[in-house]
Amino acid sequence: MYPGLFTIFQVNHQPPSSGSDSLIQEFSNVDIEWMELALELASKAEAIGEVPVGAVLVRDKQLLAEGYNRVIVDSDPSAHAEMVALRNAGKSAANYRLPDTTIYVTLEPCCMCAGLLIHARVKRVIYAASDPKTGAAGSRFDILNSLKHNHQPIVESGLLAAAASIMLKEFFARKREA
Ligand SMILES: [Zn+2]
């Protein structure tokens, strides 16, 4: 599961990879609402004792699928929030490729999920908190932004990062007390 999450989750201030020279990323109210839903899903993970990470996949302003981390309850090392959401999306779209979609995820994707998002042709990846230990969108590895792939998603970060990182920090603080 998400190794190394005992570190501090940083609020990401990186510029977008899409070429804007602005240092401040702008998100729409619609983006905020979707990330709020992803945070609700992260709470569901937390409620069953999982590291709180949630994800939603959106196309044409419609919710295509949602997921949250459930590696422990499913005994499935691949059941990260993004993986669960994209499996559900593939089924509901009856397609293994998911072009023109945006994923909102509360934590920077890991290497596995970054590969998944590229395979699935997700168009835009928006994550909240950065993960300096395992993040694969530039914090630790830079798989999502690599030009070596035949598909480059637009990657943006920092949306509701404080809320996501507080949820993670409090989760691990309680774990340490237990
Ligand atoms: Zn992952």
Per-residue pLDDT of 61-110, as tens digits, reads 999 999 999 999 999 999 999 999 999 999 999 999 999 999 999 999 99
**pLDDT band at residue 10 using 50, 70 and 90 as cut-offs:** very low
Ligand 1: centre distance to CA 6 (Å) = 16
Strand partners, 56: 66, 104
Q: Which of 82, 156, 170, 177 is catalytic?
A: 82
pLDDT at 103: 98
Mean pLDDT of the chain: 90
pLDDT of 165 strictly over 90: yes
CA distance 121 to 100: 8
Ligand 1: centre distance to CA 81 (Å) = 7
36 belongs to the catalytic site = no
Ligand 1: centre distance to CA 111 (Å) = 7
**pLDDT band at residue 26 using 50, 70 and 90 as cut-offs:** confident
pLDDT at 55: 98
Name the 3-class secondary structure at 30: helix
Share of the chain above pLDDT 70, in %: 86
Name the 3-class secondary structure at 112: helix
